[in-house]
Amino acid sequence: MPNTNSAPVDVRGPRFTAWVTTVVLVGVLLISGFSPVGAAALLAAQAVVFAIGALAGPRRNPYGVLFAQLVAPRLSPVTEREPVAPLRFAQLVGLIFAVVGVAGFATTPMVGLAATALALTAAFLNAAFGICLGCQLYPLVVRLRATAA
């Protein structure tokens, strides 16, 4: 039986995940205007989603599960797939920005706003245009790790 955790995934799943993430991060920014604590709480929940995606992969990410169960059955068959490793790395990058954002909202709200805005930019680029910034960085990181070893 093949390892489904590393098998390429339908490109529409990560794009769906990016759309949901975009909505959540817009919510964080809106909430931050009147409640930095509320913004930090919502961003912390998104950080958990990023952590699951980074550690368990896109198929186990809560938004990925939602896509697989509710959206994918209504779509045409898969025509394009993408590798899992860059997607997991992108989720790790999102997790880092979310953790910085949560800490920022707790200490210096401008840091929370900036980190959230950067994560939102990346999520929106992926959702709207299929440009995954974390995926673009992944080969560079792999190359740097190989050089350092």
- Domain map (residue ranges) of the chain: 9-148
- Residue 4 confidence (pLDDT) above 80: no
> pLDDT confidence of 3, banded at 50, 70, 90?
low
Query: How large is the average pLDDT for residues 126-133?
Result: 96
Mean pLDDT of the residues in the chain = 95
In whole angstroms, what is the distance from residue 52 CA to residue 4 CA? Answer: 16
What stretch of H or E contains 44? helix 36-56
Q: How does DSSP classify residue 67?
A: I
In whole angstroms, what is the distance from residue 27 CA to residue 53 CA? Answer: 20
- Residue 91 confidence (pLDDT) above 60: yes
pLDDT tens-digit readout, 28-46: 999 999 999 999 999 999 9
The model's pTM: 0.93
